[in-house]
């Protein structure tokens, strides 16, 4: 489906808004299929609308707009229940407030039109997404000519805000992304990713970091963390007060971390099998040798959870079971519901990507970053267009958003395999449907207790989908699995340190037993769950301690005779820019 360029449509729409006298005539034509942005999208998708529902919407729209127009002529200021228009500049200027109210009415109308569309669920979701992109782009807050806040600042600064805004825009064009944070405020290894440790092993795919113990005794079994390869590992080791790595070390764990390479042309033929065999499985082998422990506590975050679970299944097929426990944070094993990402996944789009890079090439990190930003355009795009460019502000320092802009490339063959076999065909959940490293993949063969975490407002891994792992792992042994639900989203829900004591989490350690034909139900779990204020991290620490073995004195030096210090953490791989 070809989606119209939101900026072009926005410019066309806003050019017609310059004169209020034109509005009533133009808006009265908007409901007609050939006079609004939805028409082209629907035509491309082969969709039709319900005529009666459309007629009802049209009449309601004309009634609402007529009332708004009369209020405008009478000098009444409309109420604007939208944070984009909450400042006095919008409320105090009749033209601006009417402009904003008209935009909100049109946005409401276009969004409602999607519900009248008759097409498949998947196509309807794509239409809704495309319409929302257009609606967000059309906001009068996004244009200097219709943003009274930006205009006031232009006057107050005697044009300096516009000069700074243009400079900010040109700088971002050179960087290839919108600045979400003051990027001068952070440096990996200086004030991000500062937990003390040592790189003890590396290959073309990853470096392995061993962190320095911080307690008098440590759990006998080490913790090996597999972060997402789709971005950089230091999301788990931001600043000391919100570092999950530092917290795990302070809880008496000997922590090992995979730091994935930022792929370049030398790796453009690398496959999914390589990431399993030369990545996760090799990291497991080295961690066992260095620690002297046969059993490890294993951890996967996002796609890292998909990778480590696949690796454990491959090892199980070879008669090896290295996991004392497994932790999965906002990870997908069952891809039945992939949330808003579903709009990017269909046969046409996956095949197109395969034609481009399946046999070799790179999936560029900046393209992935743009995709994820499009899922929340008001928060991650337009908010910064308004502040950085229209008003000439500098974004404040924010470690999480700095990380968000530090993109990572992926090898094309690996990425295409992941798209097709997981997202499109959902083959990982079915025993025997995938063969990796010459072994048949069957997640039910992973013999280890599992801690599964989901975030309630996660738009990338819906929490009910994260919960789906409960039904794939340890079948017939529901007590071996534990689910914890945290507040907030995909990243902010995970990075919720007890130091700040924010948000809350839900637990329910008495889910109904599971029969083969009756899987555990996430909604039933939630109905019996208890909410607790604060961070869920202590729950995870207790799980690790339970499966960590006895407490022993930490080793004096990292590595061993074979795997010796290469460089200090965080290593050089994580510092390579995309």
The count of other CB atoms within 10 Å of the CB of residue 64 is 14
Residue 292 backbone class (left: φ over 0; alpha: ψ -120 to 50; beta: rest): left
Residue 526 CA to its chain's centroid (Å): 23
Identified catalytic residue from 249, 281, 302, 333: 302
Tell me the three state secondary structure of residue 75: coil
Residue 437 backbone class (left: φ over 0; alpha: ψ -120 to 50; beta: rest): left
* 516-538 per-residue burial string, b: 16 or more CB within 10 A, e: under 16: eeebbbbeebbeebeeeeebbbe
DSSP state string for 497-527:
-TTTT-SEEEE-S-PPP-BTTB---HHHHHH
Please choose, from the candidates 313, 255, 329, the residue with its C-alpha nearest in 3D space to the C-alpha of residue 281: 313
Q: Is the dihedral of CA 243, 244, 249, 251 positive or negative?
A: positive
Q: Encode 151-173 in three state secondary structure.
A: HHHHHHCCCHHHHHHHHHHHHHH
Q: Is the dihedral of CA 19, 20, 26, 27 positive or negative?
A: positive
Active site residue 302: yes
Q: Is the dihedral of CA 282, 288, 291, 296 positive or negative?
A: positive
| Residue showing tokens 């090799």 | 282
Residues carrying an active site annotation: 302
């Amino acid at each position: 489906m070809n989606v119209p360029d939101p900026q072009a449509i926005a410019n066309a729409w806003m050019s017609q808004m310059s004169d209020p006298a034109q509005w009533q005539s133009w808006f009265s034509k908007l409901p007609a299929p050939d006079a609004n942005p939805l028409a082209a999208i629907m035509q491309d998708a082969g969709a039709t609308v319900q005529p009666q529902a459309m007629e009802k919407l049209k009449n309601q729209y004309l009634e609402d707009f007529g009332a708004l127009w009369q209020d405008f002529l009478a000098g009444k200021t409309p109420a604007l229940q939208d944070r984009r228009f909450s400042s006095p500049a919008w409320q105090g200027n009749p033209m601006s407030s009417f402009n904003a109210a008209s935009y909100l009415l049109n946005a409401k109308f276009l969004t409602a039109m999607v519900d009248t569309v008759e097409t498949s669920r998947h196509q309807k979701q794509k239409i809704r997404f495309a319409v929302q992109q257009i609606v967000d782009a059309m906001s009068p807050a996004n244009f200097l000519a219709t943003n009274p806040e930006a205009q006031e600042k232009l006057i107050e600064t005697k044009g300096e805000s516009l000069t700074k805004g243009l400079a900010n825009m040109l700088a971002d064009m050179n960087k290839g992304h919108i600045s979400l944070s003051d990027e001068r405020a952070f440096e990996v290894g200086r004030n991000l990713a500062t937990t003390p440790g040592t790189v003890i092993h590396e290959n073309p795919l990853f470096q392995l970091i061993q962190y320095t113990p911080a307690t008098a005794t440590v759990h006998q079994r080490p913790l090996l963390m597999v972060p997402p390869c789709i971005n950089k590992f230091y999301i788990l080791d931001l600043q000391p007060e919100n570092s999950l790595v530092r917290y795990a070390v302070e809880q008496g764990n000997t922590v090992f971390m995979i730091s994935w390479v930022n792929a370049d042309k030398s790796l453009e033929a690398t496959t999914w099998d390589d990431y399993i065999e030369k990545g996760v499985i090799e990291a497991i082998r080295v961690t066992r040798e260095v620690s002297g422990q046969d059993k490890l506590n294993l951890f996967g975050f996002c796609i890292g959870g998909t990778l480590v679970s696949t690796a454990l299944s491959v090892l199980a097929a070879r008669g090896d079971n290295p996991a004392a426990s497994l932790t999965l944070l906002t990870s997908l094993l069952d891809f039945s519901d992939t949330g808003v990402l579903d709009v990017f996944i269909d046969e046409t789009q996956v095949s197109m990507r395969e034609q481009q890079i399946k046999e070799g090439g790179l999936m560029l990190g900046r393209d992935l970053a743009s995709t994820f930003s499009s899922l929340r355009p008001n928060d991650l795009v337009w908010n910064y267009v308004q502040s950085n460019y229209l008003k000439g502000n500098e974004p404040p320092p924010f470690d999480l958003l700095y990380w968000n802009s530090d993109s990572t490339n992926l090898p094309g063959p690996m990425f295409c395999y992941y798209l097709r076999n997981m997202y499109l065909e959902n083959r990982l959940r079915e025993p025997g449907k995938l063969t990796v490293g010459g072994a048949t993949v069957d997640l039910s063969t992973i013999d280890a207790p599992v801690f599964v975490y989901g975030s309630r407002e996660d738009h990338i891994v819906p929490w009910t989908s994260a919960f789906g792992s409960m039904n794939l792992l340890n079948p017939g042994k529901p007590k071996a699995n534990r689910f914890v639900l945290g507040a907030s989203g995909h990243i902010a829900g995970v990075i919720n340190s007890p130091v700040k004591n924010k948000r809350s989490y839900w637990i329910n350690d008495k889910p109904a037993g599971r029969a083969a034909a009756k899987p555990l139900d996430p909604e039933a779990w939630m109905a019996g769950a208890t909410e607790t204020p604060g961070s869920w991290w202590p729950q995870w620490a207790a799980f690790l301690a339970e499966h960590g073995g006895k407490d022993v004195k930490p080793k004096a030096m990292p590595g061993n005779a074979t795997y010796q210090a290469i460089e200090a953490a965080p290593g050089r791989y994580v510092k390579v820019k995309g």
